[in-house]
Structure 1
Amino acid sequence: MDIFDAVDHATRTGPASVYLLHGSEIGLFDWFCDELVRNHLASSILRFDYQEDGFEPAELELCSYSLFGERPLVYVRNVAAFVPEGRSGPDADRLAAYLERPVPERTLVLSVPSDKLDERRRVTKLAKRHAVVACPVPTRDRDAMAKLERLARSKSVEMEPEALAELWRRTGSLTLAMNEFDKLRAYADGHPIARDHVRELVPMQAEDSVFTWIDEVVQGKVAAVFEALDGLFRQGYDAFSLIALLARQIRLMAFAKGAADLERRAKELGVHPYALRTAARHAARFPERQLERLVRVLADAEWDVKRGRLAPEVALHLALMELAHASTLERKRAQ
């Protein structure tokens, strides 16, 4: 069951006695509990951590009735009893006994930060009698955008469609995107959040930012390339590693140049086909002799750093200027 469907179903028919939430999008766990309270399906939330508290304190709350008629939701996070590395023991036995006979009119939410559950365990089999909700990271952009829009709306965050797309591109996770909502809303100061707000406040993930940077290097975007260097250094990349990454990309461009079957060539090189297709697209802008020269430039830069002839930062800057010059030269020839 999808977590959004679970909220909608609970709103229509009332909450189930037990929910088991599991997956990598751990931010959705708290969102789910908050939504049940927001929709008046629970009066408040009592939170416990299975790793620290076990299950007994949560069970005591579930079995206790309020004189004031309140119906708090009992939320137990990090329930290791459902994963292979989790230990069995009294707490797991106590949880299994509760899952067999949950208290009517009360709601227990269990969460496991894992995409897979141990199907062999008794507690897992018992939990499957109730509502099991998977919370994986969306694999398709269309699904991610629909879910992100729903999350923003539930938190009264107004975002333009382009801003949502940019936020997803920079985070790649619903949990990470939700963590940015408050900051973006405050920065927008009462106005709808725009794409520029996201670009200014939300850093790109390290892998995405270095990929974008390499893309700008081979396109000859000199100003953007040098402006992005400080950000890459703050993310943990050093000058020598960036030289190595550039060298790899230029070699891929040389291998992709003129290749009749990119899928086959990718298999021969042991790289992902998408990476080689991207390299082929970039290589189309350079003649073969120019690519050979750039391969030598970067190989010389690596060699000079290893021999101590140049500081890594100096070697990187010289290599970038060579690449920018080559790209600019080919752009002028094309015109």
Structure 2
Amino acid sequence: MDIFEAIDHLTNAEPASVYLLHGSEMGLFDWFCDALLQTSHFSSLLRFDYEEDGFEPAEIELCSFSLFGDRPLVYVRNATVFTADGRSGAEADRLAAYLEQPMAMRTLVLSVASDKLDERRRVTKLAKRHAVISCSTPSRDRDALRMLERLAKAKEVLMEHDALTELWRRTQSLTLAVNEFGKLQAYAGGRPIARQDVEELVPMQVDDSVFTWIDWAVQGQVMSVFNALDGLARQGYDAFALIALLARQVRLMALAKGARNIEQRAKEFGVHPYALRMAARQAGAFRQKDLARLVRVLADAEFDVKRGRLAPDIALHLALMELTRAASTAQKNRAQ
């Protein structure tokens, strides 16, 4: 089940003996533990790290009973034993034995920051007898916005829909978005958070900055392109890194051009669907052969910088001029 189904289930049933949370959205792990504390009669939350502590300290707490009737929630994070790279051994055997016969009236929460579990491991098979909860980054924007809206409501954060949309566009992560809530609330001062607040306070990711940058380039807005370039330079991004990001985006545009199923194409090439949808929109102004030529131009720019034939900033400026020239030509052809 996903994290939201699990949260809904907590209000209608007693907590399970064991929960295994896995996925890239680590911020949701703490949210789930907070929801458990609110909906069940736990006296406290005890945290352990599997990589640092193993499972033994958590097991001692789970198997100990208080004379005062205290019932702590035991949370073991970083449980890498469930992944292909995780170590086996005595601690893994100890955890497997507990999963086979967990203590009654006790609840153990395990978490691992991995979207994929190692299904071959005995400990994973035993964990699947209990509640396994997915906390992955949503692949579709509408799903992400629905989840983000619910997270904002749960944390009593008032946000306009446009602000939520802009926050997701800039973070592309529920965890990163939730981390911005406190700052945005303080800035808004009690009023609903507006889109302008997000634009002023939440920095764009590097790729997102490049999306905006290329958007201007494909429209032939040379001045905006070079103004944005100056801004990226002030943020500390060197010219060679920007060439690589630009080359990656143009390759995505070439891959997305004419694609009938963006979701399937994104899965085939291991990229986020949002990035490929943006690339598909940007590619609309270009012919396929123009994109192929730009891919070669940027590959040559990278090669020339690595061989010392061109300085990185000169190679970047030449590549940008090629891109904006191709965009201007495409616009003229489309107008005709």
Bucket of the pairwise TM-score, normalised by the shorter protein: 0.7 to 0.9
State how far apart, in whole Å, the 2-side matches of 1:87 and 1:301 are: 43
Mapping for residues 26-105 of structure 1, pairs under 5 Å: 26-105=26-105
SS of residue paired to 1:213: helix
Equivalences, count: 321
State how far apart, in whole Å, the 2-side matches of 1:240 and 1:156 are: 43
State how far apart, in whole Å, the 1-side matches of 2:57 and 2:249 are: 56
SS of residue paired to 1:88: coil
Mapping for residues 79-228 of structure 1, pairs under 5 Å: 79-222=79-222, 224-228=224-228
State how far apart, in whole Å, the 2-side matches of 1:165 and 1:115 are: 24
Structure 2 CA distance for partners of 1:8 and 1:220, relative to 1, 3 Å:
same
Relative to the length of structure 1, the TM-score reads 0.78
Q: Which one is further off, 67-76 or 45-54?
A: 67-76
Q: Contact conserved, 1:21 with 1:112, CA < 8 A, in 2?
A: yes
Mapping for residues 244-263 of structure 1, pairs under 5 Å: 262=258
Q: Contact conserved, 1:78 with 1:112, CA < 8 A, in 2?
A: yes
Q: CA RMSD in A?
A: 4.0
Deviations 1:217-248 (A, max 9, x none): 23244554344224423566433554576688
Q: Contact conserved, 1:48 with 1:58, CA < 8 A, in 2?
A: yes
Structure 2 CA distance for partners of 1:263 and 1:56, relative to 1, 3 Å:
closer
The residue that corresponds to 2:286 in the other structure is: 283
Q: Does 1:21 align with 2:21?
A: yes
Structure 2 CA distance for partners of 1:119 and 1:324, relative to 1, 3 Å:
closer
SS of residue paired to 2:229: helix
Q: Which has the larger radius of gyration?
A: 1
Q: Contact conserved, 2:297 with 2:319, CA < 8 A, in 1?
A: yes
- Structure 1 residue 26 displacement after superposition: 1.3
Q: Which one is further off, 229-238 or 76-85?
A: 229-238
Structure 1 residues without counterparts, runs of 5 or longer: none
Structure 2 CA distance for partners of 1:236 and 1:278, relative to 1, 3 Å:
farther
- Structure 1 residue 18 displacement after superposition: 0.6
Q: Contact conserved, 2:286 with 2:327, CA < 8 A, in 1?
A: no
Q: Contact conserved, 1:252 with 1:279, CA < 8 A, in 2?
A: no
The letter for the 2-side match of 1:177 is A
Structure 2 CA distance for partners of 1:82 and 1:100, relative to 1, 3 Å:
same
State how far apart, in whole Å, the 2-side matches of 1:101 and 1:311 are: 64
Q: Contact conserved, 1:48 with 1:76, CA < 8 A, in 2?
A: yes
The letter for the 2-side match of 1:87 is R
Structure 2 CA distance for partners of 1:275 and 1:188, relative to 1, 3 Å:
closer
The letter for the 1-side match of 2:120 is R
SS of residue paired to 1:282: coil
State how far apart, in whole Å, the 2-side matches of 1:32 and 1:225 are: 43
Mapping for residues 318-329 of structure 1, pairs under 5 Å: none
SS of residue paired to 1:12: coil
- Structure 1 residue 39 displacement after superposition: 2.8
Q: Contact conserved, 1:152 with 1:159, CA < 8 A, in 2?
A: yes
- Structure 1 residue 77 displacement after superposition: 0.6
- Structure 1 residue 302 displacement after superposition: 8.3
Q: Contact conserved, 1:58 with 1:76, CA < 8 A, in 2?
A: yes
Structure 2 CA distance for partners of 1:45 and 1:282, relative to 1, 3 Å:
same
Q: Contact conserved, 2:218 with 2:282, CA < 8 A, in 1?
A: no
Q: Contact conserved, 2:56 with 2:91, CA < 8 A, in 1?
A: yes
Q: Contact conserved, 2:210 with 2:246, CA < 8 A, in 1?
A: no
Structure 2 CA distance for partners of 1:230 and 1:182, relative to 1, 3 Å:
farther
The letter for the 2-side match of 1:92 is A
Deviations 1:42-95 (A, max 9, x none): 232100001111111111111122233322110001112212222222211211
SS of residue paired to 2:187: helix
State how far apart, in whole Å, the 2-side matches of 1:139 and 1:240 are: 30
